[in-house]
Amino acid sequence: MTSTRRHRWLRWPADPATPRFAFGADYNPEQWPRETWPEDIRLMREAGVNIVSLAIFSWARIQPAPGTWDFAWLDEVMDLLHEGGIAVDLATATASPPPWLTTLHPEILPVTRTGETVFPGARQHWRPTSPVFREHALRLAGALAERYAGHPALTAWHVNNELGCHNVYDYSDDAARAFREWLRDRYGTLDALNHAWGTAFWSQRYSGWDQIQPPRLAASHPNPTQQLDFKRFSSDALKDHLRAERDLLAGITPDVPVTTNFMVMGETKGMDYADWAAEVDFVSNDHYVVPGPQALDELSFSAGLTRGIAGGDPWFLMEHSTSAVNWQPVNRAKAPGELARDSLLHVAHGADAVCFFQWRQSAAGAEKYHSAMVPHAGPDSDVFRAVVALGRTLRDDLAPVAGTPNEQAPAAILFDWESWWASEQDSHPSSRLRYRQEALDWYSAFLALGVRADVVPLGTALDGYGLVVAPVLHVVPDAVAKELAAYVEGGGHLVTTYFSGVVDENDHVRLGGYPGPLRELLGLRIEEFAPLLDGERVELDDGATGTLWTDRITVTDPAVEVLASYAGGTFAGRPAATRLPAPGGGSAAYVSTRLGPAGLAPLLGRLLTAAGVAGELPEEARGRVELTVRGAYWFLVNRTDEPVELPGVTGEVLTGALPVPPRGVTVLRR
């Protein structure tokens, strides 16, 4: 659930009133000789860099041994940056514990589900619930905060780094202890826990709290509610670490905003960022493009979701890449134009900061083949020239856009971490279901139709949206069912899909036919799920093809319109997609199979027409150009390798051109 937010933006050292984009990178000067630093600052100025994230992995350098501190180098870097007019988002440096700490305290090392120790040698080898780690991390964060409290370059705090990137699930004894405490808080009594976990099944009834374990390697499927609670707990445990560092910093430097970089991207699902967003002063995100047919859609979807969890406030793109990364099976270099286009697509979705990992490409270490702003080739390179050009665009062309909120889109996709977690657990009708992929497919369909859609976490007010898609909304507690019903009663058009409304917050099936609490709203009842085997397909009578899933649907309300029926298979002649108009002018639609982006687009088109929601771009540009709106500014992102004309679209061009150049971004003031 989203919580109340407390967002405030960067504290710029000088001239806080002038709108500007933050532009910069992770800066790791400790990887380079001192002589490089002035050259770095000179090049940063040339590129228009005005902020860097510093000291993210510097623990071993700052505290080389217990009780020994070395701030001299960092003092010098902070001063150099300040003299260069570059602000610092200073990390608390707690992401990678140094060798002396893990040697002294091996009990901080995480343990896998199968009982193996995660040894040092990479990074983030710490248990989120280790009191020993917490103590050392807070000592370090406190020392940094005391040291740099009054430093004029300090503009924000960067807690740890990508909390949970490698250590979200820890099954150690510390985790077991903390998990039990968390469960006591949640349930109060063992009876309540036994009920919630359904422990009457397989003789799992607990008679003492100390009997409860994290879902470690078991003989068969571990208890599903235990698994779901462990996911909730693990997200909370990291959130707790975030809060501990944040509270310490806020006590020492109350005026300096605190953030941590989220990873709203791809299949990173362990952290419920909708729930974390209220814990930071501003939301930051890291995003990396994964090549594939939906790569650009996914970038846009992630940026939209980041805006959604930020509640529409400006957010900070803390990391993305100028070109290739190092951690995919094959690391694709970006084509000319993509560096700027990817950056500006984030800006189109409300980012007021564009930063990269990292400033200078490492010569050594695991990330030496990861691109950077200054590549191995040096500044005489296309990448650096593209960086300089982007800095100029942000500073000279787009500055007035900074701080402008996005306009609410006519439609929305509802995103829910609980449903993501629960719908993909084991021992389900199909292990092939991918929650985020289904949501992304709907988003791709919106893009193909040229209709703007926000991506918002469950709990966001839905009024104002003409149509809302809640794909695979698997967990539907009573309160959520009421919220959805109220939206439809108020004239909203709701669309949901297979495997929605199936369980309550305890992962207990809602009885009497699926989708329990949504049956009446949808006017149908499902007796049985019938997932499809790998490679199996089912034809629909509107020409679409379904995969993954089918449902045996019985229509219970005569007013239901059947939008498409199964044309073959066991359910031939039965409804596959339905829509029930509601008295207040709204409706509730259901799609029982996976249609993929191409199959969803025509169906979504019909649903949008029925809801009275239309695209804003000229017909011929739909699908080829993505439109987002920030106040008076239209962002037009060319998704193709060809120029795209936009007949009838006019305005003052801030950057780009009309027609929109291949892979280009044009911003108009309207």
Least distance to ligand GAL from the beta carbon of 321, Å?
6
* Residue 161 or 253 with smaller CB distance to ligand GAL: 161
Least distance to ligand GAL from the beta carbon of 478, Å?
38
Q: Which of 137, 191, 42, 651 is nearest to 401 (CA)?
A: 651
- Does residue 342 touch ligand GAL according to CB under 6 A? no
* Residue 91 or 608 with smaller CB distance to ligand GAL: 91
* Residue 225 or 361 with smaller CB distance to ligand GAL: 361
DSSP 91-137: E---SS--HHHHHH-GGGS-B-TTS-B--SSSS--S-TT-HHHHHHH
Q: Which of 148, 282, 288, 498 touches ligand GAL by CB under 6 A?
A: 288
Q: Which of 1, 132, 176, 325 touches ligand GAL by CB under 6 A?
A: 325
* Residue 357 or 566 with smaller CB distance to ligand GAL: 357
What is the Cα–Cα distance from 109 to 12, expressed in whole angstroms? 38
* Residue 162 or 507 with smaller CB distance to ligand GAL: 162
- Does residue 165 touch ligand GAL according to CB under 6 A? yes
- Does residue 360 touch ligand GAL according to CB under 6 A? no
What is the Cα–Cα distance from 316 to 259, expressed in whole angstroms? 9
Is the backbone peptide bond immediately before 457 cis, with ω within 30 degrees of 0? no
In Å, what is the CA distance from 306 to each residue of 79, 317, 344? Answer: 33, 9, 15
- Does residue 319 touch ligand GAL according to CB under 6 A? yes
- Does residue 162 touch ligand GAL according to CB under 6 A? yes
Q: What backbone torsions phi and psi does residue 458 show, to the nearest 5 degrees?
A: -55, 135
Q: Which of 245, 319, 418, 424 is catalytic?
A: 319
Least distance to ligand GAL from the beta carbon of 325, Å?
5
Least distance to ligand GAL from the beta carbon of 259, Å?
13
Least distance to ligand GAL from the beta carbon of 245, Å?
16
Q: Which of 53, 102, 161, 550 touches ligand GAL by CB under 6 A?
A: 161
- Does residue 245 touch ligand GAL according to CB under 6 A? no
- Does residue 370 touch ligand GAL according to CB under 6 A? yes
Of 40-48, 137-145, 159-167, 406-414, which part binds ligand GAL (CB under 6 A)? Answer: 159-167
3-state secondary structure of 254: coil
* Residue 236 or 286 with smaller CB distance to ligand GAL: 286
Is the backbone peptide bond immediately before 515 cis, with ω within 30 degrees of 0? yes
What is the Cα–Cα distance from 523 to 246, expressed in whole angstroms? 48
Cβ contact 576:550 at 8 Å? yes
Least distance to ligand GAL from the beta carbon of 307, Å?
20
Question: Is 211 buried (19+), middle (13-18) or exposed (0-12) by CB count in 10 A?
Answer: exposed
Q: What backbone torsions phi and psi does residue 581 show, to the nearest 5 degrees?
A: -65, 140
Question: Is 268 buried (19+), middle (13-18) or exposed (0-12) by CB count in 10 A?
Answer: middle
* Residue 374 or 433 with smaller CB distance to ligand GAL: 374
* Residue 276 or 288 with smaller CB distance to ligand GAL: 288
Q: Helix, strand, coil proportions of the chain in percent (round to 5)?
A: 35, 20, 45
Q: Which of 170, 236, 286, 441 touches ligand GAL by CB under 6 A?
A: 286
Residue 279: active-site member: no
In Å, what is the CA distance from 489 to each residue of 26, 83, 300, 494? Answer: 49, 59, 31, 10
- Residues 6 or more apart whose Cβ sits within 8 Å of residue 664: 337, 340, 341, 638, 656, 657
Least distance to ligand GAL from the beta carbon of 85, Å?
25
Of 40-48, 158-166, 171-179, 239-247, which part binds ligand GAL (CB under 6 A)? Answer: 158-166
Least distance to ligand GAL from the beta carbon of 316, Å?
14
Residue 162: active-site member: yes
What is the Cα–Cα distance from 653 to 633, expressed in whole angstroms? 10
Is the backbone peptide bond immediately before 211 cis, with ω within 30 degrees of 0? no
Q: Which of 30, 367, 397, 539 touches ligand GAL by CB under 6 A?
A: 367
Any idea which residues carry the catalytic annotation? 162, 319
Question: Which stretches of the chain bind ligand GAL, using CB under 6 A?
Answer: 161-162, 165, 286, 288, 319, 325, 357, 367, 370
